Copies of this chain bind each other. A is one copy, B any other.
Amino acid sequence: MKIEDLIAQIHQKKSFLCVGLDTDLDKIPEHLLKEEDPIFAFNKAIIDATHPYCVAYKPNIAFYEAYGLEGWKSLERTMAYLNANHPEMFTIADAKRGDIGNTSTRYAKAFFETMDFDSITIAPYMGKDSVEPFLEFEGRHTILLALTSNQGAFDFQTKNVDGQELYKEVLSVSKTYKGAERLMYVVGATKASYLEDIREIVPESFLLVPGVGAQGGSLQEVCKYGITKDIGLLVNSSRGILYASTGLDFAETAAKKAQEIQQEMQIELSKIK
């Protein structure tokens, strides 16, 4: 997907919400467990209910991988359903992969070709030749971990490297990679004020922001420091939407939650000059 198409969709839906499909058999409504593929049944219902209010879906690959072959089947079915019925949706494989050159190319093929994701999250630790193979794919996007929203982010990401924090070094250095125009970045919302500094380094890049809501970040704060004239933000919510109800009304309630966020986003979008 071209970035212009994502931006157009955001303007049309007045939403930059990404719904994280962190589908967990221990948390989905019990009545779905009777289905042949409960994970897919849950995802399909969530997608059918929430798609008017969001522009992206982000399956966290660990949740599928944990169930072995069955989990991969559910993931492939979910992607096939999304691409057939909602081709306008920006899809993110939250995989946090990364390996040396040829091996990264294999991961890229798995997610961009075999499963037809629009984008994938990548860990930066192995540097240039672990990231660039993903950047070669036309019309696909690579979302590099910069500043994550977990406590462990302070172990290394915020440490000082040659005069600036490591996550800023990741932003600066990655801008020099071949195909850098296809880069986006993960920036945790629990540190919204950091976005001011981040925008100095990557003034226009799209940022994928997890951690709004359940993890305590504020949408207003994120927008205050992070929004650009072309929006430049995808804000993710997973549990807050997926598991808002675990009854028969789970999909309806998820849609209601997604719509609430969408309405807050509409206000923020209206402030862009």
Contact = CB atoms under 8 A, between A and B. Distances in A.
Contacts of A106: 62-63, 65-66
11 contacts: A62-B99, A63-B103, A96-B99, A123-B125, A124-B155, A125-B125, A125-B145, A127-B150, A127-B155, A128-B155, A159-B161
Interface in A187-213: none
A270 interface: no
Interface in A166-180: 166, 169-170, 173
Interface in A64-101: 65-69, 72-73, 76, 96-101
Contacts of A162: 159-160
A66 B131 contact: no
Contacts of A131: 152
A126 B114 contact: no
Interface residues of A, number: 54
A60 interface: yes
B159 A145 contact: no
Contacts of A161: 156, 159-161, 166
- Count of chain copies: 2
A104 interface: yes
B126 A152 contact: yes
Contacts of A126: 96, 123, 145, 148, 150, 152-153, 157
Contacts of A115: 68
A233 to B, nearest CB: 20
Contact of A173 (B22, B76, B127, B156): B156
Closest 10 CB pairs of A and B: A127-B152, A127-B155, A66-B106, A62-B106, A128-B152, A100-B150, A129-B152, A65-B110, A68-B114, A123-B123
A159 B157 CA distance: 13
Interface string A102-137: 011011011000110000000111111111000000
